């Protein structure tokens, strides 16, 4: 067996093509049967003198965890775009590289956001429950009506790669697109959308609002009772970004009062155990944090993480380095 096989620990089972590559080209413990905790990842890394850690949010490395990273580790390669589970600056300060997997999951996350928009607007949760219960009666002309998506005004908070991809898709539905960022994008990246530097000015115009920004202390509860009250009555809300962005009590109050028509959520605050009120709410359509969950995208994410480990061990430039 070649001596230059990179030694890695992966915190979760990866798609089969990625696992096949690990078997062929890396030294690693057996495939985890369930996601490993941070402690388990560190223990295995210490035992095997691992050079690379492939992690997701299941194995967060924050605060005091950083000092416990085994000395053999040269790179933390997160199989995600989001970095809220890593204390990036502290890891870099230890001389350990950090990489993520941008770009390869943009399209699938944008596709899922559009699915949530349509599902929440067209009452897919209610329709699915009717069919599962056997249907049994013809619906009246005014029964279980949804709202039309085509032609609506869509507001996007966070016009990064995924936000831009959503804007492009929204054009196919003849939607008017608005967006809020701290800074305006180059017009070529706006895809015809209109920039609002002030969120409060944009929200009253948004018949549908979707979130595509990182979760951090600054953005914690950016969606709250005040911001929700600025949306027009009957608006649809979508979050395919991070659960921390939303005050869930305020969201449920807005739904129960009828101020919001519906919500589509791929994330929540207490994953993987959503608040019972969220699950019970008839106008909330939820998916289990699966924005990147396609064969093509998850495979590409795993391969990119491995490519970064190979580059680091070989002393070559990283493909997708994360800076402090």
Q: Give the chain's mean pLDDT.
A: 97
Per-residue pLDDT at 275 exceeds 80:
yes
- Residue 2: pLDDT above 70? no
* DSSP letter string, 235-282: EEEEE-S-GGGB-HHHHHHHHHTTSEEEEEES--TTTTS--HHHHH-T
Which pLDDT does position 3 carry in this prediction? 61
* Sheet of 52-55, strand order: 8-10, 52-55, 75-78, 97-99
Instruction: Name 83's Cβ contacts closer than 8 Å, sequence gap at least 6.
Output: 98, 100, 214, 322
With contact defined as beta carbons under 8 Å apart, do 49 and 5 qualify? no
How much is the pLDDT for 324? Answer: 84
> How many of the other CB atoms lie within 10 Å of CB of 147?
16
Using alpha carbons, list the distances in angstroms from residue 19 to 24, 34, 107, 267: 9, 15, 23, 27
Peptide bond into 262 cis (omega under 30): no
Both tokens assigned to 254? 């807005």
Burial (Cβ within 10 Å: 0-12, 13-18, ≥19) of residue 18: buried
Angle at 204 between CA 117 and CA 180, to 5 degrees: 70
Cite the active site residues: 242, 271, 289
Q: What's the confidence (pLDDT) of residue 241? A: 97
Separation of alpha carbons 314 and 324, rounded Å: 23
CA distance 9 to 72: 12
Convert the pLDDT of each residue in 279-300 to its tens digit: 999 999 999 999 999 999 999 9
pLDDT at position 4: 82
Domains of the chain: 8-104+294-313 (3.40.50.720), 106-286 (3.40.50.720)
Dist CA 314 CA 92 (whole Å): 18
């Amino acid at each position: 067996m070649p001596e230059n096989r990179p030694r890695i620990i992966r915190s979760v089972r990866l798609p089969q093509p990625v696992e096949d590559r690990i078997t062929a080209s890396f030294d690693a413990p057996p495939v985890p049967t369930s996601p490993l905790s941070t402690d388990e990842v560190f223990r295995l890394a210490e035992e095997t003198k691992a050079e690379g850690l492939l992690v997701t949010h299941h194995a967060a490395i924050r605060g005091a965890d950083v000092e416990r990273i085994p000395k053999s580790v040269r790179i933390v390669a997160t199989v995600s775009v989001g970095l809220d589970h890593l204390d990036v600056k502290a890891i870099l300060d230890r001389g350990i590289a950090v990489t993520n997997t941008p770009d390869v999951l943009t399209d699938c996350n944008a596709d899922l956001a559009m699915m949530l928009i349509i599902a929440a607007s067209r009452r897919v949760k209610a329709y699915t429950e009717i069919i599962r219960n056997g249907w049994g009666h013809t619906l009246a002309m005014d029964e279980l009506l949804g709202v039309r998506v085509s032609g609506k005004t869509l507001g996007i908070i966070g016009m990064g790669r995924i936000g831009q991809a959503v804007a492009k898709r929204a054009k196919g539905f003849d939607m008017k697109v608005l967006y809020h960022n701290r800074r305006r994008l180059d017009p070529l990246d706006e895809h015809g959308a209109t920039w609002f530097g002030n969120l409060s000015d944009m929200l009253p115009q948004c018949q549908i609002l979707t979130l595509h920004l990182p979760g951090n202390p600054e953005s914690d509860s950016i969606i709250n009772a005040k911001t929700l009250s600025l949306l027009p009555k009957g608006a649809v809300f979508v979050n395919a970004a991070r659960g921390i962005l939303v005050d869930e009590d305020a969201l449920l109050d807005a739904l129960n009062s009828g101020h919001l028509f519906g919500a589509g959520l791929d994330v929540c605050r207490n994953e993987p155990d959503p608040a019972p009120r969220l699950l019970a709410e008839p106008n909330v359509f939820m998916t289990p944090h699966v924005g990147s969950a396609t064969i093509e995208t998850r495979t590409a994410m795993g391969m990119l993480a491995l490519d970064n480990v190979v580059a680091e061990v070989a002393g070559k430039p990283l493909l997708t380095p994360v800076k402090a």
